[in-house]
Amino acid sequence: MRTERDSMGPMEVPDTALFGASTQRAVLNFPISGHRMPDGFIRGLALVKIACARANEQLGLLAPEKSRAIEQVAREIVDGALVEHFPLDVFQTGSGTSTNMNMNEVIANRASQLSGHAIGSKKPLHPNDDVNLGQSSNDIIPTALHVSVSLVLRLRLRPALEELQGALAAKSAEFASIVKIGRTHLMDATPMTLGQEFSGYAMQLSKAVERVDKAIFALQELAVGGTAVGTGINSHPEFARRVCQILTEETGIAFREARNHFEAQGGRDDAVEVAGHLATIAASLTKVANDIRLLASGPRSGFQEIRLPATQPGSSIMPGKVNPVMSEMLVQVCLYVQGLSAMVVNCGRDGHFELNVTLPLIAYALHESTHCLANAVRFFAERCVRGIEVDPARCRELVDRSLMLVTALNPLIGYDQAASVAKEAFTTGRTLREVVLARGLLDAETLERALDPMAMTRPGARSGGE
């Protein structure tokens, strides 16, 4: 152990740790869950420290050699190094001050190590006076929240959703000529093509991508520059604008200074909005995953219109059983994400006066949601959707057996007569054709044209119902 000091006095810190006294106090105070602050958040915070150092250098407030030292270490962290030196639990001080000081101390001590000074000497960098110059945890942690979540949304979730959208669109094209029965209320409806059904799923994913873009836009205002309560005390008037400009250059995302710093620190409405978009995406993915596993149900007693790739044995007692495990996995992830999203909504209410004090938990929830969704979507596309096959004979069998083809007869024989035909066909077990011809309602040629299932799938060719 070595002895370091902070404003509360001396503290014993492990020799191998790059963090200092403030972080060690938090380690001892918050051994709660074992869930550490997300790696993506830590990298985002390091990126914010780079921008702050450069901005302070540009403003003549920080010596160039100190700015370079901060950036050198922070860049290591952005690149994924030094993760073992960020041990803090999610359940900590609600402002994230412990994590902010964790970052300040690691940067300062690593700079000491690289420059040949003793760890803990605060040479050449002081964790507060230099690394945290012009900053407060109260504006920097919300800023890191927005920056880091924006990055994982753009770099991880968006590409995964695009991949699934492409896989579903490809299946829509592949199945364009396969006629099947549509279903509403879980009951037979009028015919459609399997391609049309999958086109709906593909569009849901296209809209999911659009929702990611909306979420990123919601996060583009940054709290940096507000410092303690939003007034900007101890921060240069140009500091926030320059930090946002540097972050934009670093990320390609158009970050900008908050229009109102009191809102940016006291409220977390932007994070709540992002949680709403993630919950909507999860709801959409659940619908797709459930439909796909239902369409594949069987293999002898279900719909079995499509066949899913076999990924693993489905039962420890029933030999040969194969289950739709990729759909089940995705549904569970979506339930988890919706729970996390509800938690963020509740966290958003706790903006008492000038600061929300659930920031670490919001950061954890949004990063965890994005991480799990991105992985789940990618594997669902790869190991389920791309390998889906159709059973054309089964699709046709269910179409031919459906009584809802009678809907196409409405314009020819009227609703009441068509309903009577359907009831007689169901009661007697005869086909619609047999009943219509027996009653002499239509000639065979007209009836054949009217009951052509493919014709019923053409947009505008027929009017449907519920």
The pLDDT value recorded for residue 284 is 98
Burial of 75 (C-beta count, 10 Å sphere; 0-12/13-18/19+): middle
Are 159 and 98 within one domain?
no
53 located within any domain: no
Length of the chain, in residues: 466
The pLDDT value recorded for residue 351 is 83
The pLDDT value recorded for residue 463 is 47
Are 422 and 276 within one domain?
no
245 located within any domain: no
Are 295 and 376 within one domain?
yes
The pLDDT value recorded for residue 336 is 98
To which residue do tokens 């690691």 refer? Answer: 106
Are 286 and 150 within one domain?
yes
- The 10 Å Cβ neighbour count of residue 15 is 8
The pLDDT value recorded for residue 315 is 85
464 located within any domain: no
The pLDDT value recorded for residue 20 is 97
- What backbone torsions phi and psi does residue 9 show, to the nearest 5 degrees? 115, -165
The answer, as to whether pTM is greater than 0.75, is yes
Are 192 and 331 within one domain?
yes
* CB within 8 Å of 346: residues ≥ 6 apart: none
The pLDDT value recorded for residue 450 is 93
Which residue among 365, 392, 419 closes a domain?
A: 392
236 located within any domain: no
**Inter-residue contact 241 to 367 (CB < 8 Å):** no
26 located within any domain: yes
Which residue among 371, 392, 413 closes a domain?
A: 392
Q: List the catalytic residue out of 33, 115, 177, 315.
A: 315
315 is catalytic: yes
Are 419 and 288 within one domain?
no
CA–CA distance, 143 with 120 (Å, rounded to integer)? 27
CA–CA distance, 381 with 282 (Å, rounded to integer)? 15
**Inter-residue contact 20 to 112 (CB < 8 Å):** no
Q: List the catalytic residue out of 185, 199, 341, 420.
A: 185
Are 291 and 376 within one domain?
yes
* CA nearest neighbour of 17 among 114, 97, 83: 83
Question: Hey, which residues does 206 pair with through a beta bridge?
Answer: none
How many separate domains does the chain show?
A: 3
Looking at residue 292, its amino acid is: I
33 is catalytic: no
353 located within any domain: yes
Are 434 and 292 within one domain?
no
101 located within any domain: yes
To which residue do tokens 């014993």 refer? Answer: 12
The pLDDT value recorded for residue 460 is 62
The range of the structural domain enclosing residue 69 comes to: 8-37+63-132
Are 73 and 19 within one domain?
yes
Low-confidence ranges of the chain (pLDDT < 50): 462-465
* CA nearest neighbour of 357 among 141, 40, 150, 149: 141
Are 151 and 293 within one domain?
yes
205 located within any domain: yes
**Inter-residue contact 78 to 50 (CB < 8 Å):** yes
Are 387 and 412 within one domain?
no
Which residue among 104, 132, 160 closes a domain?
A: 132
CA–CA distance, 298 with 323 (Å, rounded to integer)? 10
Are 375 and 436 within one domain?
no
Q: pLDDT for 171-201, tens place per residue?
A: 999 999 999 999 999 999 999 999 999 999 9
The pLDDT value recorded for residue 466 is 55
Say which CATH number the domain at 115 has.
Answer: 1.10.275.10
Say which CATH number the domain at 413 has.
Answer: 1.10.40.30
CA–CA distance, 183 with 189 (Å, rounded to integer)? 5
Say which CATH number the domain at 180 has.
Answer: 1.20.200.10
